[in-house]
Amino acid sequence: MMFRPIRGTHDLFGLEIEKYNIVISEISKIAKIYNFNEIETPIFESTNLFSKPLGVQSDVVLKEMYTFLDKNNDSLTLRPEYTTPMIRAAISNNLLNSLPCKVFGIGPMFRRERPQKGRYRQFNQINFENFGSNDSFADIELILIAKQIIETLLPKNNCTLHINSLGDKETLKIYKKELSNYLRKFEK
């Protein structure tokens, strides 16, 4: 009999679980302030849910998903990320009939990554989604939520929030070209 957790996983207990519960509680309070409703999705979903949106050739699909066949020979996958199941839940529960739809979720995710310090095969993810809002205020609100979470959980640390964007597809093409031109200077 094995008495250790599977490689890439760990047990939470004592002070560690107390801290975890405080983090979850504080994030939930902040989400409510911004009128985000909590949503919880199943830990496993149909494999097609993840392979279609992510593209069958993505690293997550090819290498990192925990996939298995159930007794009916249906392919199921432990959720590797939260956005896709949240979209599925919003659609299947008709939450998108009243937009904007602001939801958040907290829960375990599973990826078959090479375990290393600070990276686990089972990990918890916090996810905020604002469906149906196309203006920049939704982005600003998510940035404010991130800022408030950091300030609440790490009040005495001098944290700086850095924001990056590659822009749209056209901007990304220009960026790639400029980066390639810059890096050519260092070719031997």
Per-residue pLDDT of 52-89, as tens digits, reads 665 555 666 567 899 999 999 999 999 999 999 999 99
- Average of pLDDT values for 178-184? 79
d(CA 99, CA 131): 7
Nearest alpha-carbon partner for 34 in 129, 132, 107: 129
* pLDDT of 125: 94
| pLDDT at residue 181 in the model | 80
Q: Closest Cα partner for 27 from 150, 139, 156, 141?
A: 150
- The CATH H-level superfamily of 14-159 is Bira Bifunctional Protein; Domain 2 (3.30.930.10)
> Would you state the pLDDT for residue 43?
97
